[in-house]
Amino acid sequence: MSSSPSVPTSFATPIPSPLPHPRYPSRFTSSLPCDEISSLGHEDGADAVPVPDSLLSTPRMVRNAVYSYVNPEDQSEGAFLLSWNKEFAKDLGINDSKLEKKNWTAEEYQNLVKVLSGGGRKIPKAEYEKQQQEGNKGPRLAQPWAHCYGGHQFGYYAGQLGDGRAISLYETVNPETGEPWELQLKGAGKTPYSRFADGYAVLRSSIREYLCAEAVAALNVGSSRSLAILSTETMVVREDGGEPGAIVCRVAPSWIRFGSFEIFFYRKDRKNLRRLAEYVCDEVFHLPKDDPQETAHFTEQFRKFHLNKAAEAAASTPMETQTASEDASESTTTATAAVEGAVEGAPVAEPQHKPKYRNRFAKMFEQITHRTAIMVSGWQAIGFCHGVMNTDNMSVLGLTIDYGPYAFLDTYDPTWVCNHSDTEGRYSFQQQPGICLWNLGRLALTLENYIGAQERVDDREWLQQQESDPEKEKHLKEAASDIVIEILNKSFRDVFLKDYRERMNAKMGLGAADQVRDQDLTTIVVPALKWMDDHEIDFHAFFRALAEYKVQTTESVDQNMDQVEALVKRLLSPTIWQAGGQSAVEEAKDWIMPYHTRIVQSDELKDDQARRARMNKVNPAFVLRNWVAQRVIERVTESVMKTREQSKEEDPDKDLLDRVLWMCQHPFGEEQQSSTKVEQVTVDGVTCEVKRNDAGLEAYGEFVGPVPEWGQGIQCSCSS
């Protein structure tokens, strides 16, 4: 039986089918430094002695490490699968014949539940040995680990944080696409980073994350993904008493965060900060090493620049020389202030023109900045509030991760705060782009020496000399500031605005990216949002209703007032319509007039039917609002209790999670056209029509429509 020299077979967990084959050993753990305590016993051979689980999971300060080996707590007794994401399973590279649960053997089901609930080492030896015969892929072995990272929480650096209840099970690679994935169990028990917590997750928060990761991804915004959710017998104690426990298997290409860099920066651990940065450049973004010929060419350019400056200085008068020196000092101060302004959301001054070399670390920061801009642009366009945008919750890949007290907007309110723990409104909906800039500024601080070193970043001896001298290190930071400012301007501000314009134009039926006009944002989109805010308009209903607006053969809004009134009446609540409907109609003209004019100027846009179809492909009919999530949680929890009590009562919600998962993954409503069956369902005294698609899954039904009074403005806390 072969094994990696870094992980003895006696210490590893077998990964059974139908789960995808693990990459063995893990690229992450074999490339980066491990926690010294958890690495004990990881030498291979007969003498290897595994560290006891009780020691591995003991909360402690971990230094000089990017991760710690730790085994999930065995919660497999009485655990069962609540939902399996067969659509995403295909992306992982799982064999087509094993995508659906109905195609698993009883043994495969039992072994999968064991692995995903921490009991993988209970898999019988015969089964484990059978898994080793898969051609030349290597053994189906994994050694789980937890990430070590720090982070700023609500604006203040909090020191060591880390995966307190999430444990990475293993890495895999889709054999067809070559895309890497890291499977992680959330709620899998204590780790060295649990501090005073228990490492568990409650069912309600697990359902929220399981569903929302797929909902956000389906709305074309970067997100972690969900593979499975399991119910466990663990009773988890939270503020309101005991709650049923659960484990989510969530997946991402990488779980590295801004805080992964911060912990080494604030500990002044330059060695491991460099190792992590190199790993992200090489393995996450696949950036090439800096070309020596290219750096030599830049050095020559830079030398000529300084020679010219020296010649100019020699030709100047003493007074002029003094003034130039003062100007240079002032420009440096201005550049530094501009960086602070950038992360605070203030206008950014363009850096002075002088030779700058972007090495691979600057390119890495540029990629992270670009991806973050696209992510938060998506959030603003789909009306998504993250709730806890701490730097430890920011992915270097620009993915939405760590779904806690999130919310999709109900009525449009830019000041909405979905996290009731956020008493100052730091992470309100309108603050999200600015907070991303602030967080990028914190990340830039950790990388500024490498960025500032420019073409000499691989001259380790020279760089060490600069870092050991405070005055020389100051020059590194000054050199970095110009590059960082330029990246924040071009790769965040410009990218954000471009992407946001394109998304909002598509939502409003104003055409594809090549049809965007600069004035659309200021004359149509922003006034429309203000009108929505003034009249408490449902954000998502607005765009679906706007798709029904017909310009027909009219040339002006005055000729189309019946359509305008119908649109406004549909969007306003009956009470508001009676109290001030006509006033709302008049105020709507501020954005409807330029909107109408913009549409009728284009033969493509004024085709009402085609425009409606395009809009309904980007504006969801189903939205995982907080009231929907709350209703699903209540019903699934009741269903879980029936299962555990072995109730004989019929359980209509046994497959509810699968049905709602399908809605999250297909939110736009086009599937309703192929529905084959219509049922009348009564919920809380209200009868609604439920359509079922060809697969027999509920197509939206009761979860689409006006927000019930009890469900308006639901906030959540960080507790889960």
Q: What positions carry a catalytic annotation? A: 392
CA atoms of 25 and 5, how far apart (whole Å): 9
Residues 6 or more apart in contact with residue 668 via CB below 8 angstroms: 616, 617, 618, 619, 620, 621
Q: Where are the alpha helices (DSSP H) in 179-244?
A: 203-218
Backbone angles phi, psi at 534, to 5 degrees: -65, -30
Q: Report which of 374, 398, 388 is spatially closest to residue 431, judged by C-alpha positions.
A: 388
User: 311: exposed, middle or buried (C-beta count within 10 Å: 0-12, 13-18, 19+)?
Assistant: exposed
Contact at 8 Å (CB) between 26 and 283?
no
Instruction: Look up residue 644 and give its two tokens.
Output: 């555990």
Backbone angles phi, psi at 184, to 5 degrees: -130, 140
264-268 own/partner pairs: CB under 8 Å, 24+ apart: 264/446, 265/445, 265/446, 266/150, 266/157, 266/159, 267/63
> DSSP readout, 545-589?
HHTT---TT-SSGGGGHHHHHHHHHHHS-HHHHHHHHHHHHHHHH
Beta-bridged to residue 303, according to DSSP, are none
- Neighbour tally for 197: CB within 10 Å: 12
Instruction: Look up residue 259 and give its two tokens.
Output: 């805080």
Residue 231's region, left for phi above 0, alpha for psi from -120 to 50, else beta, is beta
Helix H or strand E encompassing 342: helix 318-344
Collapse the DSSP code of 384 into the 3-class scheme (helix H, G, I; strand E, B; otherwise coil) and give the result. strand
